[in-house]
Structure 1
């Protein structure tokens, strides 16, 4: 049913408009009495419970940041069977993001390109919604992904991240510092170790007991990945997210004119799989066994999840696969994982 709807309805809609329409449905699924009814059909097998970050995840598979930017649909996402939701990216200062259109489908590659630009209502608004979500979403683990406000100069980025941390750390189960989105000018420059160390130190101190992770780009050189992983361990961070979207367009089957028309932005989905897996292996080789790695990028099937876990991931995230696989994507993956 969903492939028909996707092909004949969603592909005829602007991708961002289609996303907002889907979010309305997902939000409705999080409301009583639909939430427990849907969850009864999607609840992960108890054998999939995973311990990480001092938390218990119902499943090792969750939804990555970017899908629920403002923490408005966490209960509905929980109802659909995901083991955790990472909301955001949120910024200290509310912002509209980049001009539309800013989201594009490459259907032939099962990929998306986005240059959303951290459109969100701000960290304070996200914190208020997370407080409500904690009451509604049962055993769902809630992470919060924070980024730099666009109007804040890169030189003042640390204070900006700390401001977001003070809003959301107390109401999130874990916190992720996003310095790897390609859609905020100057942001990826913060991944340089000499710049990243004081930023992460300040956020770590502001986060208190909330586990802190950092999210990196797949476009870093291998030695840069290794250096950031070792820095995260040295600073006592709880983990690392590997990876964000890529600026590469290598190997796409989508026609070049379509790719060029979409323009700049981060590519996610199946084309990212190989590099994201490489980065995961580099990080795992550089960190202790107990260090948490959240693997993301090109994850679409249960086999993809198994592959990431076998390569050293602690838990796994997806996003673009939700667009192409439909509302029961998490249930399908969980059931296939439980079979083995």
Structure 2
């Protein structure tokens, strides 16, 4: 378990280094342009950014995406994120809870999170692959109960696991186990990737299995292939990791295609979202909620105020996008005219 904790700590350091992002592929937001409205006839300050997601009321359509559940500093990170999410009225997803489930060390993943954030939705998080390695409903229920979570995220990371020393390589039959979990748990189950995107065929399969929501977590932001390559001392792994640095489905493409294929499924758009304008584009393409992780990690290591300041800038950027497209609320933004559309 100490090895896993060291690896999680290495993950944080790698992301903070800024050298593990996708290189030749982008999330695609730069290719999306709104048609400008020169006469919005709106009060900028009265624009309504509130939304409901899985029956949870939010002040803005934002999710602090899963970051870390392992390193010793995770306690401070999680506390900062939870307090900021509560102050802003946005959703919070914790990092992997595997270590907290298997040891007595919670690393801040305990009821303190609910104390810090009593009114906003908190999403628990476990790697889906653990269902092939001994986990079942009891372990997932424990993940939910330890933080008073409102929903459970099962994350998919096959490429990362394949490149990880000692990674979990047997993914056979995992879909049926996800389906069984969806039926057994009394909270919504969200399935997300970690940065390589979810295809239409996989999204349809997840909906058939009973998943309540999907986070496409597309390519164009942090590359978890590059992260594992940065941590590995094996030259073969390093070579493979670099070859797959730009693997995956760009975020904008994943959002648009999954929305068309699964029109009724609640959808989270994440992966390479840097600004409020990016968030507006994700919402216009079909996302119901927009997630950020890597871009807010540095703020999360500093203070609650730093996290709040980061997201206040994102929120104002989103509000300005509504204003500049003549959209009085998110519903109107979702039908705002685009000057160009994704290829």
Pairwise same-fold verdict (TM > 0.5): yes
Q: CA deviation at 1:183?
A: 3.5
1:213 and 1:237 in contact (8 A); partners too: yes
Q: Could you tell me which of 280, 304, 312 is aligned with 1:331?
A: 312
Q: Deviations over 1:291-340 (max 9, x none)?
A: 11111100000111011101111101111222578642101011222342
**Is the alpha carbon distance of 1:128 and 1:79 closer, same or farther for their aligned partners in structure 2, counting shifts above 3 Å?**
closer
The question of 1:57 aligning with 2:35 is answered no
Query: How far 1:67 moved relative to its partner?
Result: 4.3
* Aligned pair partner of 1:231 in 182, 202, 205: 205
Following the alignment from structure 2 to structure 1, what is the Cα–Cα distance between the partners of residues 48 and 243? 35
| C-alpha distance in structure 2 between counterparts of 1:83 and 1:66, whole Å | 16
Secondary structure in 1 matching 2:161: coil
How many residues get paired? 251
Q: RMSD of aligned C-alpha atoms?
A: 4.0
> In structure 2, how many angstroms separate the alpha carbons of the residues matched to 1:304 and 1:48?
15
Alpha-carbon distance in 2 for matches of 1:132, 1:324 = 22
Shift of 1:64: 1.0
Please list the CA deviations of residues 205-235 of structure 1 after superposition, one character each: whole Å capped at 9, or x if unmatched: 3322x11011136647xxx822221122212
Structure 1 segments (4+ residues) deviating >6 Å: 260-263, 265-268, 271-274
* Aligned match of 2:183: 205
Q: Give the structure 1 partner of residue 258 of structure 2.
A: 283
Check conservation: 2:196, 2:248, Cα contact below 8 A: no
Greater RCO, 1 or 2 (C-alpha within 8 Å, sep 6+):
2
Partner in structure 1 of residue 151 of structure 2:
174
Q: Would the aligned equivalents of 1:148 and 1:161 in 2 still touch at CA under 8 Å?
A: no
1:200: how far off?
A: 0.8
List alignment gaps of at least 5 residues for structure 1.
Answer: 1-13, 20-43, 95-119, 250-259
Other-structure match for 2:94:
87
Q: State whether residues 63 and 317 of structure 1, in contact with CA within 8 Å, keep that contact through their aligned partners in structure 2.
A: yes
Preserved contact between residue 86 and residue 120 of structure 2 (Cα < 8 Å): no
Secondary structure in structure 2 of the residue aligned to 1:146: strand
Name 1:78's counterpart in structure 2.
85
Q: Which secondary structure does the structure 2 equivalent of 1:282 belong to? A: helix
Deviation of 1:279 (Å)? 1.3
Q: Residue by residue, what CA displacement relative to the aligned partner does 1:49-85 show, whole Å, maximum 9, x if unpaired?
A: 2101121122211211124656732433326637111
- Could you say if the C-alpha distance between residues 148 and 230 of structure 1 is closer, same or farther in structure 2, counting changes exceeding 3 Å? closer
1:16 aligns with 2:13: yes
Deviation at 1:45, TM superposition (A): 8.5
Q: 1:324 to 1:90 in 2, by over 3 A?
A: closer
| Structure 2: runs of 5 or more not aligned | 1-10, 17-44, 227-236, 300-305, 323-343
Structure-1-length-normalised TM-score = 0.61
